Structures are given as C-alpha cells and as structure tokens.
Structure 1
Amino acid sequence: MEGGVGSRSNIEDDTTKGGLDATGLDLPLNRHGNLKSASTDENLADILLQIKSSKTPAVINYGASWCRVCNQILPAFCQLSNNFPKLSFVYADIDECPETTQHIRYTPTFHFYRDGERVDEMFGAGEERLHDRLWLHS
C-alpha cells in the first residue's frame, strides 16, 4: 500500500491499488460492493450523476489524506458500509477531485442523498453520529 496522496480509483474490485488503498490506512473490506472511491473530478462527476439518477440512498464522504479527523473516521465509514448494504457509500479525497469538491469547506463532510436529491449533510467525525445519520437515511 502507498502512503499519503496517491492515485485514486474506483475500488469495486480488490485488485485496484488506488482509491481507499492509497490512504495507507488499514481499512475493513467491503463485503457488499456498495463502497466506491472517486479518483478524479470526472470520476466523481460520473458518480454524482449516478446518484442523482438513482433511487438508491447514498452518502459521500469528502475527506483529505492529510486530515487527522478524516483518517480517524474513514475505517468506521468503511465498516459501516458493511452494516448498511442498501446504501451506496462514496469516498472522495478533495485533493484528487479539486474542481468537483471546491464547495467543500470542512473535512470530513458527509452528504446524504435520497431519491437523487441531497437531503442532509454532516460536518466532522463521530462514529455514533454518523451511524445514526446513516440509519436515518437508509
């Protein structure tokens, strides 16, 4: 695994060496295929289009590899993707997607989507708080 900022890519299969793997953190495996990582502005824009045209509830974690709080909540975010298999989980590093994430002013920021519309946001960490929001929006 690489440390620091690396190339990010969609991690739908275990052979990819970018995305969340590039954080250098020991992250839980995703068992349901509902966790993605945006690697570029174009990739994140495509994921946002999919979310907006889907009825599947989704959460996007906007974080940064240099952010201590982001690195603390990321393992819980990945673990929660296993607890909420009907939700789509997306991780987007603001440094990898600078154009698409220019509206993000605080990391981590979580955006929650239902029926293609953003319905909620949460700033900062807190595993219990995040769990409660996921339960509310699932």
Structure 2
Amino acid sequence: MAGGVGGGGDGATSSKKGLEGTGLDLPENRHGNLKSASSDQNLKDLLVQIKSCKSPAVINYGASWCRVCSQILPAFCQLSNSFPKLSFVYADIDECPETTQHIRYTPTFHFYRDGERVDEMFGAGEERLHDRLWLHS
C-alpha cells in the first residue's frame, strides 16, 4: 500500500505505476509537493512545470527492481514533508524510458533551481540527500 501518496497514474491500466507501483509502504506527503511521473509524457510535463515555475525541485530517477532505490524512496517521501518549498518528483526509468535514457545509475537525483539543473547526486544515503535538499531549498 502506498501510504497516502497521491498517485499520478493514468487509470488506463489495472497495474499501479509511479510511487504506488513500488509496492512500498511510503510516508504520507503532507504538503502535496511530491509527484510521480508514470509515463514519458507525464515526466515531460513535469519538467516543463519545473522549468517554467522557477521554484526549486528535485527529481529522483529510480526503478522498482533496484534495491538501493527501494531503500532511499521512503526517506525521499519523508523528506518531502521537511522541505515544503521544494517540488519532489519520482520517475521510474522503466515507466519513462524515452525521457530517462540518459540515466545510467539508479537512484540518480537531479536538483533544479530557477528552471535549470544545478546539481546531481548518484546513489543513496539519507544524510547526503538531506544535506543536498537543504542546500538547494
């Protein structure tokens, strides 16, 4: 069960996608600042929003089969509650194959400020992620 995280699913298929498709019990997102990209078009739309609204954002590129991704994802969701001014996006590389073909390692985190990508972090580490989020918030 996805612990109250709002799904970005398109409803066209019976299988769950995005955060709900991970099968993890994830913390509730209290500020509505966590979104899930469940298709290439969905991720493209979210990237356009990030670039146009100019507010700070972080994208977590992961995969449902990646053990390290599964370990950091609950912390990523929890941290979305600690940084309400940041936009958080989770993108599964298998659900967004065209727009994530440049991702070579999971998890990969991209940080955006004023519509531009300003930082990148590879791998997990809750403290490292917290510090980067603090730096970019």
Superposition TM-score, scaled by structure 1 size: 0.89
Aligned to 2:124: 125
Aligned to 2:26: 27
Cα distance per residue 1:107-130 (max 9 Å; x no partner): 000000000000000000000000
Question: Partners of 2:27 and 2:83 in 1: how far apart?
Answer: 14
On the 8 A contact 2:17/2:95 being kept in 1, the answer is no
Map residues 22-61 of structure 1 onto 2, 5 A cutoff.
22-61=21-60
Question: Partners of 1:48 and 1:55 in 2: how far apart?
Answer: 11
The answer to whether 1:73 aligns with 2:65 is no
Question: Partners of 1:79 and 1:46 in 2: how far apart?
Answer: 24
Structure 1 residue 10: deviation in Å? 1.4
Sequence identity (%): 87
Question: Partners of 2:18 and 2:68 in 1: how far apart?
Answer: 18
The answer to whether 1:91 aligns with 2:87 is no
Aligned to 1:10: 8
RMSD over equivalenced CA pairs, Å: 1.4
Q: How many residues are matched?
A: 127
Aligned to 1:6: none
Q: Which amino acid aligns with 1:75?
A: P
Structure 1 residue 21: deviation in Å? 1.5
Question: Partners of 2:83 and 2:41 in 1: how far apart?
Answer: 27
Superposition TM-score, scaled by structure 2 size: 0.89
Structure 2 unaligned runs (5+)? 10-15
Q: Which amino acid aligns with 2:8?
A: N
Cα distance per residue 1:21-62 (max 9 Å; x no partner): 111101000000000000100000000011011121000000
Structure 1 runs of 4+ aligned residues shifted over 6 Å read none
Aligned to 2:115: 116
Structure 1 unaligned runs (5+)? 3-8, 12-16
